Structure 1
Amino acid sequence: MLPFDDEQHLNKRPLDEATLLSGQFWGELRVFLAVAKTKSFNRAAEMINTSQPTVSRQVKRLQDVVGSQLFISTPRGVMLTPQGEALARALTRLDHTLHSITSDLKKETREAAGTVRVSITDGLAALFAAPALADFSSEFPKIQLHLKTPLNLIDLRENHTDMMIGFGPSVSTDIQFRKLGQLHFIPICTRDYVRNHGLPTAGNLEHHLFVQSEYYLAKTGMWDSWQQAVARGRVAHCCDDPFAYGLMVKAGLGIGLLGSYAVMEPAAVPLEIGVRVSVPLFLLALTERLQARPVRLVFDWLADVFGSDNPWFNDEFRLDNPPSRYDAGFRLMFNLPPPDGTRSGR
């Protein structure tokens, strides 16, 4: 066998090599360049937003790895050695190259343009997607979202949409899906209802009123605990519109089954009556449409908004979630102050 009988070996691209030649010290190189530019460990720490001991420690590690002294101390600060000067000049060229590349990528991202259709339930759109859209639009000003109320929470094609927040994965080969977080439903009434009818408990539901919805009548097993609780009391009213349903509960007309985030409403009273339903959320999109950059950007954005990093969709069920960047919709909808206790615009 000839030593070079594989033509592809000679034509192999650098990216095809499975090894990194530079070693595990790229972070230290950035710290070193900051010191080289500022001539000070303290000013370098301020530049890269870290501490002076961290800068000193990383520079020392870099010197140990390369086996050369890169700085010497002087009364006027640190000075580069000849070896440090050579490394700093090379890194400066690399720094300029990386800056140019990332600037071009940002320009490409900002120029992404087009309309992206998203099917999403009214409550999730109003409380989460719409408030988060301001930051998204600031970053991608030429992408227009068309938020649509879904006709079907399973069928993308029936909704004539590019992507959809649904309650199940897809089995179709031309649809991609991503598992998001969990949507937790809990029974809720209001303080006015409690004043008028008493506090509902697992032992006295026969004396209480409920607001029912056809969505919760599905024979899937998911809503059984709610259906059993309702059967013990009396249905006061029915409603299939999510906003009207929430307003009927808020008006004190009965106990309703709402997303756990409804506890942000000041008048809400979460109830312990043996009912809690957790529904997995999925983001589904047509594979062909995901090839378009605007669609992919919206897909990734929605995956963040409704992912498990959002405390309201975390797998762990909590009603005392700390303030976060996902709270803007509640504060707008319920006229609540920002987390610092001050109202915006005042």
Structure 2
Amino acid sequence: MKNELPPGPSPSWDDFRFFVATSTAGSFSKAASDMGVTQPTISRHIENLEHRLSVRLFDRLPNGVALTSEGESILNAARHIESTVFEIQRNVHGSDRRMEGTVRISVTDGLATFWLTPQLGRLQERHPGITIEFQCSIEPADPLKMETDLSIRSGKPQAADLIIVKLGTIHFVPWASADYIARHGAPDTPEELLRHRLVDHSIYYKDEGNWNDWFALARAANLISYMTNSSASMLSAIQSGIGIGMLPTYAGVCVEGIVPLSLDLRTNSEIWLTFHPRIQSTARVRAVIDWIRSLFDHGASPWFRDEFHPPKTPPARSRPVATAS
């Protein structure tokens, strides 16, 4: 007797794609967040796949989902399908010689907003047919899964199948607005930060190993007066005089209304560009790669050298420190 599928349309690639994502995420809600869709969308595709295959793929648990034995047996085949689809897409992209179309860049909102976007005009003047799509998020999109074309992230990537290019090092120092300094003074030592309001970014907690000095002070007296997961929002808070925050040294050439503080407190993070080997032969992607690398030229932009280069804006003059209230 033949094993036949129930009547109706065959499972779609999206069904398998969301199945793989859910198995990786461990819950429908996490898979939906990772894939940029709603939880009902994930549930609908999983239920459709289960119906079409006549098997239960996941056990629904109070805190997520777990693969059934049938789901585990299907997962490898689904990943093979996923890998084949990605390979087809990369082959198509790699043979594209047109200097037009969209190039997706996964990057943090800070770099996209304050460094890449202001200099995008240079690329558009030279290649007006290229559209740049910035995918701004804390979690990087995966070039191997064709979630993005190029990824710019801190920390050296570990994926063996990707090309990785070190763009440089971002150095962070404390900044404040002139208005804040006029009202509260500028601290002369890291210890004096204990008497000031602080502005913070939630991503710093994820990179705690690079921020030990900052957190040792900030956590000592519950100093955080403003927390956000957006670099643009964090900068706005500092410009508005809400408090002192750590920003890149390159802020001195692209941001107004803030000044760096003369404190023996700084940290750094390496910045890496990653992409799949085959996609670099796509003409428009190659052009964007060259443009990105030019923006981090260590001669024209010394703030991205491995060694610390001070911010361009002169440090603020210190005033008597007043207790923030």
Output the CA distance in 2 between the equivalents of 1:159 and 1:217.
28
What number of residue pairs does the alignment pair up?
Answer: 214
- Return the match for 1:121 from 108, 116, 119: 108
Please say which of residues 178-187 and 146-155 is displaced more in the overlay: 146-155
- Name 1:296's counterpart in structure 2: 286
Q: Structure 1 residues 237, 312: CA separation in 2 closer, same or farther (over 3 Å shift)?
A: same
Give CA-to-partner distance per residue, 1:130-168, whole Å, 9 cap, x none. Answer: 232222122222222212213513744578110111112
Question: What one-letter code is carried by the residue in structure 1 that aligns with 2:279?
Answer: R
- Structure 2 residue aligned with 1:207: 195
Which of the numbers 221, 241, 249 marks the counterpart of 1:260? 249
In structure 2, C-alpha distance between the alignment counterparts of 1:114 and 1:280, rounded to whole Å: 30
Match status 1:305 vs 2:292: no
> Alignment identity in percent?
29
Structure 2: state its 5+ residue gaps: 1-95, 314-325
Alignment of 1:128-143 (within 5 A): 128-143=115-130
Task: Check 1:273–1:319 CA distance in 2 against 1; reply closer, same or farther (3 A cut).
Answer: closer
State whether structure 2 residue 219 is matched by structure 1 residue 231. yes
Give the whole-Å Cα distance in 2 for the aligned partners of 1:179 and 1:321: 23
Q: Which has the higher contact order (CA 8 A, sep 6+)?
A: 2
Letter in 2 for 1:236: S
Q: How does 1:314-325 map to 2 (within 5 A)?
A: 314-319=305-310, 321=312
Q: Is the 8 A contact 1:308 1:315 kept in 2?
A: no
Query: Partner residue of 2:41?
Result: none
1:271 aligns with 2:288: no
Moved over 4 A (4+): none
Unaligned residue ranges in structure 1 (runs of 5+): 1-108, 323-346
Deviations 1:21-70 (A, max 9, x none): xxxxxxxxxxxxxxxxxxxxxxxxxxxxxxxxxxxxxxxxxxxxxxxxxx
* RMSD (Å) for aligned C-alpha atoms: 2.5
Check whether the contact 2:166–2:273 (CA below 8 A) recurs between aligned residues: yes
Shift of residue 231 of structure 1?
2.5
2:308 partner SS: coil
The structure-2 alpha-carbon separation of the partners of 1:181 and 1:269, relative to structure 1 and needing over 3 Å to count, comes to same
Task: Report the structure number with the largest CA radius of gyration.
Answer: 1
What TM-score, normalized to structure 2? 0.60
Matches within 5 A, 1:1-346: 112-153=99-140, 155-156=142-143, 160-202=147-189, 203-218=191-206, 220-233=208-221, 234-264=223-253, 265-309=255-299, 310-319=301-310, 321=312
Check conservation: 2:141, 2:148, Cα contact below 8 A.
no
| Offset from partner CA, 1:223-255 (integer Å, 9 cap, x none) | 111112212452112111111111111111111
